[in-house]
Amino acid sequence: MTQLVADYMSKVSGVDESTAFVPVRPDWTDNSHLLGWYNAIAERYETTPVLDLIIKASDAPAAPHFIILDEMNIAKVEHYFSDFLGCMESRWIDVDDRVRQEPIHLHSHVADYEAGEGSVSIPPWLDLPLNVYVVGTVNVDESTYMFSPKVLDRANVIEFNDVCLDPDSQMRESTLADPKTPGSSGFVLRSDVNPVELLSGYTPAPPKLWIRMKDEMPVCLAIEKFIVRQSKSA
């Protein structure tokens, strides 16, 4: 799923500099991993790829910029993402039909901080540009956290629950395949492998695992054929 999101973003933006890929860690409890922090020992502001992208997006308002949070709910979103949620909640339309919002507080220094030689300046307050889009990939299992209603209220949720590996099977005629929904008719199988036949004698795996299985199985079969050829030639 993460690779699908990354490929889509690269097609939309066209340049890698417009996308920040961020693997979320389970120990995230504040916004420092996204928006940086002030390093009192080095006396400079430690920036992050997300903060750099937001500042660059402010200078190019016509170009879309994307933040990809991989495994977004492996830590509590309400903790490390609270500044973004509050910023989105505060948006309003002023008398000039412009979208306004409360800025995000970064530091209490009067002037901008320099993040390092050749880096961007870090302002005390940061506006979240409207051309920045945050996309998070999630899994729902025992290692992740559920989303609270306030997070879901500010997001567009797309669920991938059903997978059809064989577009010619009866699944195509079932409720899993909606002719009005693009892509619901299933994936095109590789010519050298038929996962449906290979798995017919086993207990069905969860549908969410089938995507990776259909890509990994041809690789395993190719390795097996190579080993067999090597053993026969030895």
Instruction: Map out the domains of the chain as residue ranges.
Output: 2-152, 170-233
- Please calculate the CA angle 216-183-186 and round it to the nearest 5 degrees: 50
Please list the pLDDT of the chain residue by residue as tens digits (234 residues).
677 777 776 776 666 678 889 999 999 999 999 999 988 888 888 889 999 999 999 888 888 889 999 999 999 999 999 999 888 888 888 888 888 888 898 888 766 665 655 556 888 888 888 888 899 989 888 889 998 888 888 888 887 766 555 555 544 455 444 555 444 444 444 566 565 565 555 555 555 555 556 666 666 666 667 666 766 775
Q: Does domain 2-152 have CATH number 1.10.3470?
A: no
- In this prediction, residue 59 carries a pLDDT of 87
Could you say which DSSP state residue 127 is in? -
Q: What is the pLDDT of residue 170?
A: 46
pLDDT at 5: 72
In the prediction, which pLDDT does 172 show? 47
Q: What is the largest CA-CA distance in the chain?
A: 81
* Extended strands (E) in 74-226: 92-93, 99-100, 104-105, 113-114, 121-122, 125-126, 132-136
pLDDT of residue 226: 65
